[in-house]
Amino acid sequence: MAKVYDIVSRLKNEKPQVRLTEDKIFTVFNSKNSVILMKGIAEDPKIDETEKMDMIIEAGLGKEALDLVNSMDLSMMEMATVVNAIMAAVSDSELEEIEKAAEAEVKKTRKK
């Protein structure tokens, strides 16, 4: 008889969350399809950087979160923090790791 690999206990389907305000917490869409969509947005050279941010926030947290973020009149650095939090959540990484990687990417781009 063939061996059975029981992975039920590993498939928890837990969804990370991002708190945007004291009373607003949003669940991050971290499914494979959502991550593929966000990756495609991030890597598309035809999309403006600010539009990418909006699209990633909507893909990662939903329209309500995007509307909230836009109503908060955040700086570009704060918008980047929101996007970085989403990317950290979908990759199960620490926010600081993602911020360091993003900073390194910016420095690399500036040198070109």
**85-109 pLDDT tens trace:** 999 999 999 999 999 998 888 777 7
Mean pLDDT for 40-69 is: 97
Residue 47 DSSP one-character state: S
Distance CA 68, CA 97 (A): 25
What's the confidence (pLDDT) of residue 1?
86
Tell me what the pLDDT averaged over the chain comes to. Answer: 94
> Is the model's pLDDT at 7 over the cut of 70?
yes
Distances (CA, A) of 15 to 23, 54, 112: 18, 21, 38
What's the confidence (pLDDT) of residue 108?
77
Distances (CA, A) of 29 to 16, 100, 105: 8, 23, 24
Q: Are strands 24-27 and 17-21 parallel, antiparallel or unpaired?
A: antiparallel
Q: How far is CA 14 from the centre of its chain?
A: 16
Reduce the DSSP state of residue 18 to 3 states and report it: strand
pTM: predicted TM-score of the whole model, two decimal places? 0.87
What's the confidence (pLDDT) of residue 13?
86
